[in-house]
Amino acid sequence: MRLKIAVWGFAMGMLIVVSVFAQDLSTKPENASQTAPTAQAQHPHRIRVKEDVQKAALVHTVSPLYPLISEKRVDGTVVLRVVIGKSGAVNSARYVSGPTNLMNSAVKAVLQWRYKPTLVNGVAVEVETTVSVVFPPPSQQAPPATNR
């Protein structure tokens, strides 16, 4: 049992109040069942991983298609912020930078990519990373298929 004592007093008025509070420490507070044990380890729901590190876990890619905007093909790199689910599937891809006319093609391709699941202490977690989708210049592209 723990006691708390509070004393009030006035020098000239001679009013003195003494309070004694007792608390039994063997009883649990009412909200004790709502608190989590501190000894139990918390697993992260999502971690951030650098693009080069996450690229090593890539198991399936789909190449982006050039949009049919004109005869001239635009080249460049589209950077996306990607969330990879616990299963390794890409859950979302959000445009960060690069040629905006290539953005939709890059997002459509990356949403089909698959990674090995990322484990933290043996538990699969979501991963947030960046992906750079490179659209090579026209001289480095394969010629379009023709029907003969």
Q: Is 62 in contact with 39 (CB distance < 8 Å)?
A: no
| Per-residue model confidence (pLDDT) at position 7 | 46
Q: How many domains does the chain have?
A: 1
Strand bridging mode 114-115 / 2-9: unpaired
Residue 32: inside a domain, yes or no?
Answer: no
Residues 78 and 95 sit within 8 Å (Cβ to Cβ): yes
* pLDDT tens-digit readout, 32-71: 555 555 445 566 788 999 999 999 999 999 999 888 765 6
Domain that holds residue 87: 46-140
Q: Does residue 20 form part of some domain?
A: no
Residues 85-131 have pLDDT tens digits of 999 999 999 999 999 999 999 999 999 999 999 999 999 999 999 99
Q: What CATH number corresponds to the domain at position 78? A: 3.30.2420.10
- Is residue 56, in this structure, part of any structural domain at all? yes
